[in-house]
Structure 1
Amino acid sequence: MMNLFDVNWLAVVLGALAGFMVGGIWYGPIMGKKWMGAVGLSEEEIKEGNMAAIYGGAFAFSLLASWTLAHTFATYTVEWSATVKILTAFGVALGFIVPAIGTNYLFSQKSKTLFLIDAGYWLLFYIAMGAVHAWLG
């Protein structure tokens, strides 16, 4: 039986960092202004947030996601190819994350724009994280 902590910790941390960096780019220069409009926040309101708690919490969630992906890869006795790891990470986002946020956004009546921005982010997040796990795994 596999130990829950018997994973490639370098891949876990670097995978989390990769996803975190994707978020900085996605919600910064690429979709930042559209996202702010979609959630109804101004730059001033965003700056008023507790950035340490927001970024710290987001990185902690990134670590959890990366550890879970690493654990998934480590539970099988067959070595996965890099392509399969990346596609599996993408599949997790497409099959679990996107439907979950989509359902939440439907019931909370969020805009389709916000859904597409956030769903796009999560797909890219998991692709980046999967690529790091594939590279280091």
Structure 2
Amino acid sequence: MEMNWIAILISALATLVVGFVWYHPKVFGTIWMKETGLTQEELAKGNMLKIFGLTYIFSLFIVIIESALTIHQGGAVSMIGGPMKISEALPSYHAFMNDYGTAYRTFKHGALHGFISGLFFAFPIIAINGLFERKSWKYIFIHAGFWILTLTIIGSLICGWVK
């Protein structure tokens, strides 16, 4: 099983696309700015190339981990020693992959795992940080909602986009 690099590269754009909509002033942007104490003027001073570039790179990290959480066939590949060992795998591995190589490789299944990752991994991390930083629940829910939606989309794309 090879990694689908096109799916990975495009899925990593989800954080930027969803963020553009989610944090728009007509959606949650105005509330978010109020909760963080930022203004439009302060936001405009940021180095956008650095912010968007690093966001994309970090998003690639997230997509690669999310693919391990959503694509169950990765477990079979790891059992034989990784992708470099596929040519040396026993016939039983190849028979298994012929039978189950695309099992649970759907957008719906990926969305489920992405949602679960957002709810049970991203949300608690954001909530813990928010509590210690004395942030409001609005702040916590805005960020958690963003990550739950984004990870749902990433999981959907990365799992359903089978070569």
Displacement after TM superposition at 1:69 (Å)? 1.5
Secondary structure of the corresponding residue to residue 7 of structure 1: coil
- TM-score normalised by the chain length of structure 2: 0.75
1:47-58 to 2 correspondences below 5 Å = 47-58=44-55
Which residue, 90, 93, 104 being the options, matches 2:118?
93
For the pair shown, which has the larger CA radius of gyration, 1 or 2? 2
Q: Does structure 1 retain, via aligned residues, the 8 Å contact 2:115–2:148?
A: yes
Q: Does structure 1 retain, via aligned residues, the 8 Å contact 2:110–2:160?
A: no
Displacement after TM superposition at 1:134 (Å)? 3.2
Which residue, 8, 24, 43 being the options, matches 2:4?
8
2:21 aligned residue:
25
For structure 1, the residue ranges without an aligned partner over 5 or more in a row are: none
Q: Does structure 2 retain, via aligned residues, the 8 Å contact 1:16–1:66?
A: yes
Whose RCO is larger (CA < 8 A, sep 6+)?
1
Larger CA deviation: 77-86 vs 114-123: 77-86
Identity of aligned residues (%): 32
- Against the structure 1 CA distance between its residues 71 and 15, is the aligned structure 2 distance closer, same or farther, given a 3 Å change threshold? same
- TM-score normalised by the chain length of structure 1: 0.88
Secondary structure of the corresponding residue to residue 31 of structure 1: helix
Displacement after TM superposition at 1:76 (Å)? 3.1
Aligned length in residues: 133
